[in-house]
Amino acid sequence: MSTAAQSIREIVTRQPSAARVFRRFDIDLCLQADLSLEGACEELRLSVDQVLEKLADEEVQVSGGAALDPANFPLGRLIQHIVRVHHHSIRQELPRLAEMASQAAAKCVDRSPELVRVVELIEKLHREMYAHIEKEEQILFPFISQMDQESIVSYPPLHACFRSVAHPIFMMEQEHESANHVVSELIRLTNHFEPPTWACGTHTALFSGLRQFELDLRQHVRLEDEVLFPRAIQRETELKARS
Ligand SMILES: [Fe+2]
Ligand SMILES: [Fe+2]
């Protein structure tokens, strides 16, 4: 749990989701990075207890989500979980990280020229992952949900866009590989998301946000590649044997 005596920088380093809370309260990650939370709240005439409460809520929300074990969910619920937690995180975090990366690059490019490439990589990830999750939500996931219905009478279902679910799954796995390459380059460029000692608050918040995003993406891809997709292929085998 964060405390009023910790600096804004310390809080955001320990709890990446704190950046979202600070943004809501207009606490400046750069200008107020070295102030204690209490000091920053005093400057902005905020209630420190209210900010601490929101930080705690945010932390519980993030760790509560991680404590679930969705690998045991039925297919339909697993898909819902992936969309609500991981696709939501992509839609929410990538624009925020892209904005922070541009700000950090504009301020710190002289001492950290690699930030220019970091901006390009986040934008690439943003473009590719948006298109990827749209395909999953519009085409593949509805198809898998349909396969999971007990009432399904023929396979492949009428109006299916493909003969076997293995084809779109193969495409999605290739796209996961591509995202992994982008993330590996980000890890290498940022020294495993370790900010330099002189980094400003935005730079520090960007790296902790990227670290959190990388964990979330790894969990997301693992759930699809190792749980959802093999189970969909197994379900297809059962349906084919039945028809
Ligand atoms: Fe996904
Ligand atoms: Fe995916």
- Give the pLDDT confidence of 196-231 residue by residue, as tens digits: 999 999 999 999 999 999 999 999 999 999 999 999
Q: By the 8 A CB rule, do 203 and 108 touch? A: yes
SS (H, E, C) 8-22: HHHHHHHCCCHHHHH
pLDDT at 159 over 90: no
**How many angstroms does the Cα of residue 220 sit away from the middle of ligand 2?**
7
Please give the angle made by the CA atoms of 215, 71 and 157, to the nearest 5 degrees.
115
Query: Quick one: pLDDT at residue 71?
Result: 82
Strand partners, 36: 7
The ligand whose atoms approach the alpha carbon of 84 most closely is: 1
Query: Quick one: pLDDT at residue 158?
Result: 64
SS (H, E, C) 6-72: CEHHHHHHHCCCHHHHHHHCCCCCCCCCCCEHHHHHHHHCCCHHHHHHHHHHHHHHHHHHHHCCHHH
The ligand whose atoms approach the alpha carbon of 175 most closely is: 2
**How many angstroms does the Cα of residue 71 sit away from the middle of ligand 1?**
14
**How many angstroms does the Cα of residue 132 sit away from the middle of ligand 2?**
6
pLDDT at 35 over 90: yes
Neighbours of 28 (CB within 10 A): 16
pLDDT at 21 over 70: yes
**How many angstroms does the Cα of residue 136 sit away from the middle of ligand 1?**
6
Strand partners, 7: 36
By percentage, how much of the chain surpasses pLDDT 70? 94
The ligand whose atoms approach the alpha carbon of 179 most closely is: 2
**How many angstroms does the Cα of residue 168 sit away from the middle of ligand 1?**
13
Closest CA to 118 of 209, 190, 178: 190
Query: Quick one: pLDDT at residue 207?
Result: 95
Ion ligand 2 nearby residues (CB, 5 A) = 172, 224
Q: What is the pLDDT of residues 64-87, one digit of tens each?
A: 555 457 888 888 889 999 999 999
Q: What is the pLDDT of residues 77-121, one digit of tens each?
A: 899 999 999 999 999 999 999 999 999 999 988 899 999 999 999
Q: What is the mean pLDDT of residues 185-192?
A: 96
pLDDT at 157 over 90: no
Mean pLDDT rounded to a whole number for the chain? 90
By percentage, how much of the chain surpasses pLDDT 90? 65
Query: Quick one: pLDDT at residue 166?
Result: 93
- pLDDT confidence bin for 131, thresholds 50/70/90: very high
